């Protein structure tokens, strides 16, 4: 029984030898570029024979296609919708196998998968990231922050202007009182 449980534990360890990590979902604006981040961890040191494969499945579930391949260096796809629109943005030494998709189009909506094989670790998880290309940016936290900072700046300018105007009026009133006092003497 102990031998069987040790064998099962070893089999489970081998099955998850490479763990791939991606965001679940990414939003990008039509016509912009988007980095699809993919990192991995492996039970073995990074091999010179490392293989990375990025694939794409459109939302309409039509045939999937290869987006990018890395094997001893980046290999751009020779054909397909991503032919001149994908570049390597990874760093193997840092377990980063990310890519950049250029000039995003609504037809790029779908699921991208990132698979890593790091010999001798040939089994593991496959990272999936769903890309949603939108026509315009929705009101995000960044926009809210920009509006808040802008509003605070305008408010600060109004307060400073009010203080300066009050001081000038007080000074004029004081000067007028002094003129009246000097005239009475």
Q: What pLDDT is stored for residue 40 in this prediction?
A: 95
CB atoms < 10 A from the CB of 52, how many? 24
CB atoms < 10 A from the CB of 98, how many? 17
Q: What pLDDT is stored for residue 164 in this prediction?
A: 93
CB atoms < 10 A from the CB of 45, how many? 6
Written as tens digits, the pLDDT of the chain (185 aa) is: 444 343 333 444 444 489 999 999 999 999 999 999 999 999 889 989 999 999 999 998 788 899 999 999 999 888 889 999 999 999 999 999 999 999 999 999 999 999 999 988 888 899 999 999 998 755 666 777 788 888 989 999 999 999 999 999 999 988 888 888 787 76
The encoded tokens of residue 107 equal 């037809």
Q: What pLDDT is stored for residue 181 in this prediction?
A: 79
Q: Compute the distance between CA of residue 19 and CA of residue 9 in angstroms, rounded to an integer.
A: 17
Q: What pLDDT is stored for residue 7 in this prediction?
A: 38
Cβ-Cβ contacts under 8 Å for 109 (sequence gap 6 or more):
58, 59, 131, 132, 133
Q: What pLDDT is stored for residue 141 in this prediction?
A: 67
Q: What pLDDT is stored for residue 8 in this prediction?
A: 38
């Amino acid at each position: 029984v102990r031998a069987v449980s040790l064998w099962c534990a070893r089999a489970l360890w081998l099955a998850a030898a490479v763990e791939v990590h991606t965001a679940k979902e990414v939003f990008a604006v039509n016509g912009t570029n988007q980095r699809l981040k993919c990192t991995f961890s492996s039970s073995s040191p990074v091999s010179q024979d490392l293989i990375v494969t990025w694939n794409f499945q459109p939302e309409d579930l039509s045939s999937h296609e290869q987006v990018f391949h890395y094997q001893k260096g980046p290999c751009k796809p020779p054909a397909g919708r991503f032919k001149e629109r994908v570049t390597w943005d990874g760093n193997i030494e840092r377990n980063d196998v990310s890519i950049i998709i250029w000039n995003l189009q609504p037809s790029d909506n779908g699921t991208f998968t990132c698979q890593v094989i790091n010999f001798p670790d040939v089994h593991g998880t496959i990272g999936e990231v769903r890309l949603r290309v939108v026509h315009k940016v929705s009101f995000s936290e960044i926009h809210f922050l920009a509006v808040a900072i802008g509003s605070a700046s305008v408010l600060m300018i109004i307060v400073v202007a009010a203080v300066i105007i009050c001081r000038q009026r007080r000074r004029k009133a004081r000067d007028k009182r002094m003129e009246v006092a000097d005239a009475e003497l």
